[in-house]
Every structure is written in structure tokens, then in C-alpha cells.
Structure 1
Amino acid sequence: MRLLLTCSAATVLVGTTMTFAQEWKPDRPINLIVPWGAGGSTDQVTRVTAPILAEALGVDVVVVNQPGASGAIGTQEVLNAPHDGYTWTANAIANNATYSVSGLLENTNIDAWHVYLSVANVPVVAVPADSQFADFGQLLEALQSDGGRGITVATAGVTSSGGTAIAALSDAAGGFEYNMVTYDGGGPAAIATASGEAMVTTQLAVEQTELIRGGRLRALAVLSNQPLKLDGVDPIPPITDWLPDMPLAPDYFGIFIPSDVPAEVLATVDKIWEEKVMTSPEIQAYAENFGAVFAPSYGAEARALAMPVVILEACSAMERGEAVNDPSTIGIDCETRTETGM
């Protein structure tokens, strides 16, 4: 799979050099809150990663699904818990970094988290197998011709990858309306579309792959500048075939720990991430099978990789009039599309 990435999928970025003065040895299970429903993109890769971390730490890493409010409810639970290293979250980093802009959470930004990235994901526009739309051009014409008000789009919420994808498509196409139907996760949204509850879904490839392979969904386009190649199906054409000037940025997923936990917690997890996760055949196989990019990193390097999609989503929300708080409140200048710092 080839995507518009700032580094090649084969490049492995290592975290900043650390002084590993004291190893953290947890004495009880760690709660890893996935703020989305089971079966979605975050849930999938987290359940592949958690056993690797559990084996290295010597305690259970318990994945807990706590969906609601586009991931904000579960994320708030982590922020409210003691910052002692025993409560983590998993998500797309753009969500955690921009919840304050959307107004779903207050006083939080990317620097509230120590970032561990595992894969990059890409949205796919898909329709039920029996849909009237044979390609994205036909769908786009329908969205533009009648305002799209009668076209239902299944997503995991306004700030989910699917929600931001359909909004970005509207922006790139000059603006069209649609009727969004939200579910507790990307997996349920994709299943609902395959079942005919919605006419379109724009969720991530990893949430749709099996339905596409099984002939229940028809993939029309991938939000990339390159085709998406999946075993067993024809290459999915890039969105730039129809919208050549559409802004694109890779959507990175991973695990996030509050940045103010004890230093030995972060040093220990940094070491495990570098030695175990960044070389994991299990996560590599997951990425190859489900249409993701294996792109692990942590710390400062992970933060730098995440910022393009954070800036894109924060500024796009402001331009659409969806931002409750100006992106400047989290250190983003949308006039220059750069990070200004806090």
C-alpha cells in the first residue's frame, strides 16, 4: 500500500535518546480505554498491540471500549483518572489533539499526551454492493446536483475519521450537503452501510476491508494520491482522480499516556515501544492485511509526524464554521497552516 506519507512506510523512526535511569515495574493491570466501539480502526490495532505491551510489562493491559461523543467520553475518563501510569487511551492522534477545537473537551491539546504511534490509516468511500453508484464520479454528481440532502453517510461521528473525511470531501468539491448517520465506531458504521442502513460510508479502510473483500461493500475511492491495493480486490482508485487539489495528510493511530505521569513510566514504555512494537511482526501483518501502513514511532518524532493531520483537521473545522474554539488556542495558525507553539 502506498500513501501520501512524509516518510516511506519502510522507514522506522526511533524516539529521542533517553536516559533510562529507572525501570517501571507495574504491580497491577493497566486500563487501556478505547473511546470507540468494538471492531473499529482504533479497537483493531489496539487489540493487536496490547498483548505485546502486556508481555513486556508483566501485567495485563486491559482494553476497555467506552464510546460516546466522538471519542470524547472515554478520553475524558483517562484525563480524570490518576495520572499514575495505570490508565491509557488509544485513538487517532488528530482527535486527541483537536478535541478542544471542536469543544468536546476543554484545555487539552497534543502536548497533554505522550504519543506512541503504530499505523497510518486512510479513509475509503464505499457504498453497498447493490448501490446505484458505480464509481465516485457518479456519487459526487448526485451529491452536488441535489445538495446531497437525501444521501445518508454512515460515520463514527463528526470528529471521527469518517466524519472528517466526508467534510473534507465536501470542502474539496466546493461544498455539498449530506445526511450523516452516526454509530459508536467505524466498524458498526461500515456494517450498517453494507446492510443498507446508509447509502455511503467514509470510514477507514481497515474497518471496511473484510466487507469489501466479501462483496458486501463496493469501494469507490481512497482518500490518497495513490491507489489502495488490497489482496483479493481490484485497486481502489485515488480521490485525486476526481479532486486533484484535495489536501491530504496521513491519519496516525496509536496509544497515548498523559504526559505528566511519572518519568519512569514513560521511559519504560518508550523502551518497550522501540524494542517490541517497532519491530512487531504482528502489527506489520495487521497493516498489510487490512490496508494500513506500518509506521511506528514515539515521543518527539511521533508528535512531528502527527502535526500535519492535526493542523489540517483543526483548520478545516474552523473554515467550515465547526470550531468552538479557535485553533490558535492550541498553538495553530490557520493563516499559515503552521504550528506556533503555546
Structure 2
Amino acid sequence: MTTSKFAIAVVAGMLALPAAAQDYSWKPDRPINIIVPWAAGGSTDQVTRVVAPILEEALGTEVVVVNQPGASGSTGTQATLDAPRDGYTWTANAIANNATYAVTGLIEDTSIEDYAIYLHVANVPLVSVNADAPYQTFDDLLKAMGEGSVTVGTAGVNSSGGMALAAIKESSGGELNGARMITYDGGNPAVIAAASGEVEVTTQLAVEQTEMVRAGRLRALTVLSDTPLMVEGIDPVPPITQFLPEFEVAADYFGVFIPVGAPPEVYETVNQIWQDKVMISEALQAYATDRGAVFAPSFGQDALDRAMPVVVAEACARVTRGEAVLDPSEIGITCPAE
């Protein structure tokens, strides 16, 4: 992967001691918009609304979360890229989405190098079924997907739930033709659809499902991890590697992204705030613990390095599945040799 020269330049030499809030070099004079390209209540929306008040207090200005769903998150992301590059319009997402929109053709001529990167948590997809569904184990569900028709609610092919379903199909040898994906404008609507029985299954993120699992409206069968999911109030959820030992797991990092081209003091200030405030935030840690996410804030080159496994995995999986319209190498992503 060709790393972002911009990101390296922005963070170089900026890991000094934390600055006091009044010493931040950028003092915004109007509200900042963070465009969440998914519906309200989903994973990206949830965590962004935890992070926004931290940024708001540090910056001394309003930070507004704007939901703009559509086209697997590409509508709101494109709106962010089209906005003036003045530091007042950011976006939020899973980094694998922003890094691979060009691969799937949802957004042309873009890559992760279009952003300064600020990550906060890593999420894991959870496979859950409606509480009245007959599937008691993940093996039961796999058998049904291979023999009949099973509806699976996700936020679209480019969402974490959509990619999770595709990865399960691929790891199962492509024999799950009975799994029929039904798409929604975000993870929250997809989870609600599964809890209400509109669909039988959802593969959206654990943070979007834990409340419904706790309430007994969903039954969690497996987590897309190599370790069990341990969340208070929920029985341990077995890892998918217990059922599909060859399943490849990569941490799915989420964050906020500021398009390049703004004044340097914008990135200098947000770097400092991320280090001063976000990386030690008790509110963010509590959210992660309660919802089944991993507290993992980082920014700049460190963030890119941490996220590269999931970026490569998702981009190259698109090629394997025949979903790519652009070779990942054209945006600096090198797929491993077969």
C-alpha cells in the first residue's frame, strides 16, 4: 500500500506533550458538520455521537452530526468530498469503506489518501437471528442457508454487515446460495428488521445488536472474531473460527475523516485533541465496553498502519467476488499473491 504522504506530513513531529485547550492553533468560528453516511442509530452514528461532544468541548464550537444515508454510505461520503476544503465538513465511517469506494465504483477517483485519519474503536460483526427463528446454532443457520431461503438484513453490500455476509459465503465455499440479502439505509434499521421478524437474520455489527440481544429479541449465534464476544448481560458468543476454522479475521476500525486540503492548523489541532482527549476518553471506553467494541483510538500514520489489514482484506475480497470495477493496485492497495 502506498501510504499517504499527506498523512505522514501532518503528523510528523506532532506527537509532543499535549497542549492546553486554549493553545490549540485552530479556533473554529462556526459549527463543524460530521456527515454520517448511514441512518441514525447505527454503529457509525452511535460512536460519532459519543465522540462529537469531546471534540465540541475541546474546540469550543458546536459539532453537528448530520445523517445522510444512501448507496452503501457513498452518498454522504461524496457530499463530504464535494464540500469546501476548509476544515468544517468531516465524515465518519468504517475506514474500509472510505478506502475502497473506488474499488466498487461507488465513488470515482478516491482513496484513503483523500483524508486525515482519526480512528476510535474497532467493531466486530455479529450473526444473530430473530428470537423465534428455528436456528439454535450457527451450524443450523449455515445448513439452512445451503438448503433453503434465508433472509438476511444488512445496510447494503458495502456495509460491515454486507461484507460480513459475503465473507461468510466465501469462507463456506460459496455454497450458501439460499442466503438472500435485504438492504436497509443503515445498520439500525437492518437490526430492527431482524428483531421484528421482517427478516430472519442480521450480520450487522455487535454494537448495533447488543441491546436487542439483551432484550431477548435477537439470538446471537456467532461473532466474526477469533475470540468469544464477552459483553455484560449477554452469554458469551462463540467465535466464527469455531465453525469455520479458515475464516480470516481483520479488525474493523471506525473513525472520523477530514478531507485533505484544509489549512494545516486544522489537522494540527485535531491531532492534539485526539491525543489529549479522545485517546483517554472514559465516555468512549464505556461505550466500547457496553456495546462490544474495542477501544482503540489512533490517528495519522499509526491509524493507517493499524487499519491496513481490514483495508486490504475488503478491497481484495471485492476482486475475488467479482465485485471490483477498479483494480485495488490503482489506489495503492496490493493484494496478496494466491
Q: TM-score range by the shorter chain?
A: over 0.9
1:107 paired residue number: 109
In the TM superposition, residue 19 of structure 1 has moved relative to its aligned partner by 8.1
C-alpha distance in structure 2 between counterparts of 1:40 and 1:145, whole Å: 31
SS at match of 2:108: coil
Q: Compared with structure 1, are the counterparts of its residues 133 and 304 closer, same or farther at alpha carbon in structure 2 (3 Å cutoff)?
A: same
Asked if structure 2 preserves the Cα contact closer than 8 Å seen for 1:117 and 1:296, the reply is: yes
Distance 1:127 1:278, change over 3 A: same
* TM-score, normalisation: structure 1: 0.91
Q: Distance in 2 between matches of 1:266 and 1:306?
A: 19
Q: Does 1:134 align with 2:133?
A: no
Determine the C-alpha separation between the residues in 2 that align with 1:285 and 1:63: 20
Residue 114 of structure 1 aligns to a residue whose secondary structure is strand
Q: Deviations over 1:81-130 (max 9, x none)?
A: 00000000000000000000010001111111100000000000000001
Two-structure CA RMSD over aligned residues (Å): 1.4
State the match for 1:197 in structure 2.
Answer: 198
What is the match of residue 68 of structure 2? 66
- Give the match's secondary structure for 1:245: coil
1:39 and 2:20 are equivalent in the alignment: no
Cα separation, 2, equivalents of 1:43 and 1:118: 13
Q: Quick check: 1:216 aligned with 2:217?
A: yes
1:122 to 121, 124, 137: 124
CA-CA distance at 1:260 after TM superposition = 2.1
Moved more, 202-211 or 173-182: 173-182
Q: Aligned partners of 1:16 and 1:275: how far apart in 2?
A: 17
Q: Which residue identity is paired with 1:225?
A: D
Q: 2:249 maps to what in 1?
A: 248
Deviation at 1:22? 7.2
The whole-number CA distance in structure 1 between the counterparts of 2:316 and 2:15 is 37
* Secondary structure of 1:226's aligned partner: coil
Residue 141 of structure 1 and its aligned partner are, at CA, apart by: 1.0
Runs of 4+ residues over 6 Å off in structure 1:
19-22
Match of 1:18 among 11, 14, 20: 14
> Which structure has the highest helix share of the two?
2
Shift of 1:273: 0.6
Tell whether the 8 Å contact from 1:127 to 1:199 is kept in structure 2 after alignment. yes
Establish whether residue 170 from structure 1 lines up as the match of residue 165 from structure 2. no
1:49 to 51, 55, 62: 51
Q: Which runs of 5+ in 1 are unaligned?
A: 1-14, 338-342
CA displacement at 1:333 relative to structure 2: 2.2
Distance 1:26 1:131 in 2: 51
Give identity over the alignment, percent: 62
Matched, 1:306 2:307: yes
Between the aligned partners of 1:234 and 1:196, the Cα distance in structure 2 is 22
Superposed displacement of residue 336, structure 1: 3.4
SS of the counterpart of 1:332?
coil
In 2, Cα distance between equivalents of 1:164 and 1:276: 32
CA distance in 1, matches of 2:219, 2:81: 39
My pick for the range that moved more, 263-272 or 22-31, is 22-31
CA contact (8 A) 1:16 1:301 kept: no
TM-score (norm 2): 0.92
Deviation of the 1:135 alpha carbon: 0.5
Shift of residue 233 of structure 1?
1.6
Deviation, structure 1 residue 16: 5.0
Number of residue pairs the alignment of both structures matches: 320
**Residues 325 and 39 (structure 1), Cα distance of their counterparts in 2 relative to 1, 3 Å cut:** same
Give 1:27 shift: 0.4
Query: Structure 2, unaligned stretches of length 5 or more?
Result: 1-10, 17-22
1:172 maps to amino acid: S
For the residues of structure 1 that align with 2:166 and 2:262, how far apart are their CA atoms? Answer: 35
Partners of 1:127 and 1:220 within 8 A in 2:
yes
Query: How big is the shift at 1:331?
Result: 1.2
Aligned residue for 2:93, secondary structure, equals: strand
